[in-house]
Structures are given as C-alpha cells and as structure tokens.
Amino acid sequence: MRLTVIGTGYVGAVHAACMAEIGHEVLGVDIDRERVTALAGGRVPFFEPGLSQMLVKAVNAGRLGFTTSLAEAVRFGDTHFVCVGTPQDPASGVADLRYLHSVVDELAGCLDGSAHDEVLMVGKSTVPVGTAARLARRLGAVSPAADVAWNPEFLREGCAVQDTLRPERVVAGVRTEHAEARLRAVYAPLLDAGAPFVSTDLATAELVKMASNAFLATKISFINAMAEVCDATGADVLTLAHAMGQDSRIGPRFLAPGLGFGGSCLPKDIRAFTARAEELGLGRSVGFLRQVDEINTRQRKRTVELAKRLLGGSFADRNVAVLGAAFKPFSDDIRDSPALAVAEMVRSRGATVRVHDPEAVDNARAASPELQFALDVAKACERADVVLHLTEWPEYRQLDPEALATVVRTPALVDARNTLDPLPWRSAGWTLRALGRPGLD
C-alpha cells in the first residue's frame, strides 16, 4: 500500500519508518524543510534506539521518502496518517489543535480534484474526545469522498520501534466498514503476528489514549504518595511496591517510586483530559487527576529538600552533580523533564550545578544554558558536595562508588529514582538518601 505520514516529529518519523519496514511505500510530509532534508538523508533528528538503522534501510530501499508538499502526498497515496503535535496551552491546560486544524484544512484543499476516489485520513495525534467527529464534518463538507478514522499511538520513548512493530493492541476508531478494512490491511503483518485489533467508534478511540495515560499517571502518583507516607512512618516504599505488585490485579509495572513522570505525554494528556472533562460538565468525575498532577510535581520539590538536608540546610556556594537530564532513559527528550526541573531549582537556590546525561546534554544545554554540563560522569561529579541521581540510565547503575568517592568533595548521594543498590555505595563511605526509604538514614 502507499501511505503518507503528515508530521514527521517523534510519532510521525517512527510511524513512517515502521510502516516502510513492514512493506508499505511511505511518503513523509513536514513543513520543516531542515527536518525533511535530514530524514531524506537517513538522519534522525532525535535519539530513539533502532530508528536510525531502520530509517536508512527504508530510504535506501526506496520505500520511504519525504517532502514538504502536501499536494504531492495527496497525489502519492489515499491513506494519510496525521501525526502533528497537539501541545498544551500553558494557561488553560487545553490541547492546542491549531496544527491539526491547519493540516485538515490544507488536506481538504488538496483533495479537491484528487484522482483518488476514496481517501482516508487517519489521526494518530492525541486529542480531546469529540475532535475526530468535528474534523470528519469539516473534511466531509469539502470532500464527500473523504473519510476519517482515529488510530491512537501508544509509544514509549526509548521503545517506540518495538511498540510499533509489536504492539500490545491496535485501536481503530472508524465510521465505516471500508475504513476498518483499510486499517486492517495497513496493519496486516502486525495482526498476522498476533497483535489484537480493537475496532470501535471515533470517540472511544480518542478516549482509549487519554484514559490509558491517565491511569498510568495515577498509578505512578499513587506509589509516590505512599512514599510520603513511608517517610513519615519509617516504612520502606520499595518493599511496599514489590508486595503490592505481586497481586495480579495490580501488577508491578508503573509502581516505581521516585521523582515522578515527565515528558511530552503524561503531564500534557492528564491536563488536557481534565480540561475537556470540565468543558463537558464532568470536572468532578476526573478531579482526582489534578491531585495526581500535584503529587507528581511535589516529588521534584521533595527531592530538592532531601538534597538540601544532606547539605546542612543550604545550597549556597555548594557544588551539585546531577546524573540525568532526559525525562526518562533511552531518550534525549527533555520536555517537562523532572531531572532538569530539579537541576534548575537547585541552581536557583545558589548552587553550582553540573549535569551529565548519555544522550540529552545538547537539548538540555539549549533549554537551560545557565546550568553547566559534562560529557562524563567523573567530570560532572568533580568536587561535588552532593550527587543527585535523577534519570535511571543503566550506565548509572554500573558506576563504581569507590572510584567516584575519590572525585567528589563529599560522598553524599540522593537516589531520586530508587534504582541504585545502596550496599556498595554505603560500603564505599557514601551517605545515601532516597524518597520513601527512611531506613537508609
């Protein structure tokens, strides 16, 4: 099949490369000429394991190309995946749909006189419930032959290629049997490999993404709330989370106490979900999500206070080493990064802060030029009064505490991700603190 992918940011670039990988001819479309040039040359402008190799393979095989022309895309194929961003309005929390509306309006204009008898626009962007139906009316008024479906993405940064090629489910919000058949054909190799296909209406498909992210965010904030209770009572949150996770009704995933979630999805989506519910007069039904958001944000402040106590009550004239800038490992994404937020808070309180990250230093430096950065851990920790472990990269679990103790001024560590083994650190003379684990004191 010949597919187009409109919007080649994180979601779009991954989707385009993966669709080419499973055998389709794909044309990616973006208004960013530099991005199009980079992708056409086989260069991925962000870090995602496995994507670069797949992109180069597809481009060289002639199955994947890129353009800035939507009109060219309309001539190329009749199934158009829309992957443009829907950022959060910082004032209201409402999803900003201007880019999505712009694409639909331009697509409608290009469809006038199109050689394709039946055109399917497939939304992958995360949107408030009701958006797809409105877009279908908007597109249908111009081109009656055009149909709209919604096919939300469930990508985890750092695992996006795997999540696309081996999805836990493919959700298709459709209005017609023809649209469902088209999407089944697109994903046939994945369905043949056992991926479940969930066919539903537009509104349910939109809600599946929002509800899933809201639930995951709630699970993370729940265990972080329990970490606060553990700090007050002397209990250990890691043992608590482990015991809870043995219950098959709960499970261990996302019961990871620590600094909390960030990135471009969970924070934005729960705020947009809450805002949409309030528009529908259902604010009380999802009011708990505001508390979920508050608990998550509070973890950053609690981490700063934990570090402050280790320093005797003040950051003034102290050196602080920060391990991690990306919002999660295996990514260079620093959007709403808890790690970077903590680093900035510490610096604003008078400390000199030096940050290390295996992949995100360039992005972090551009976003926070007032911080200092280092390309190796030892340099970041040189003469540090405290080390903050803020992003759970595997490299940090493999550090040698004894060697690092010879570099710092004071061997003091805050494990804000609860992923470091405390025994070797304490054996090497380090003072170790972690959220929800008062027994380490």
Residues with a catalytic annotation lie at 265
User: What residue ranges in 135-196 does DSSP mark as E strands?
Assistant: 146-150, 170-173
How many degrees, rounded to 5, is the angle at CA 293 between CA 354 and CA 266? Answer: 75
DSSP, residue by residue, 29-71? E-S-HHHHHHHHTT--SS--TTHHHHHHHHHHTTSEEEES-HH
Q: Using an 8 Å Cβ cutoff, are 139 and 107 in contact? A: yes
Q: Using an 8 Å Cβ cutoff, are 122 and 77 in contact? A: no
**d(C-alpha 188, C-alpha 330), whole Å:** 29
Query: In a 3-state reduction of DSSP, which class is residue 148?
Result: strand
- CB within 8 Å of 279: residues ≥ 6 apart: 128
Task: Locate 150 and state its tokens.
Answer: 């919604």
Q: Any idea how long the chain is?
A: 441
- CB within 8 Å of 35: residues ≥ 6 apart: 8, 45
Phi-psi region of 61 (alpha: psi -120 to 50; beta: other; left: phi over 0): alpha
Q: Using an 8 Å Cβ cutoff, are 51 and 43 in contact? A: no
- Count Cβ atoms below 10 Å from residue 208 Cβ, excluding itself: 18
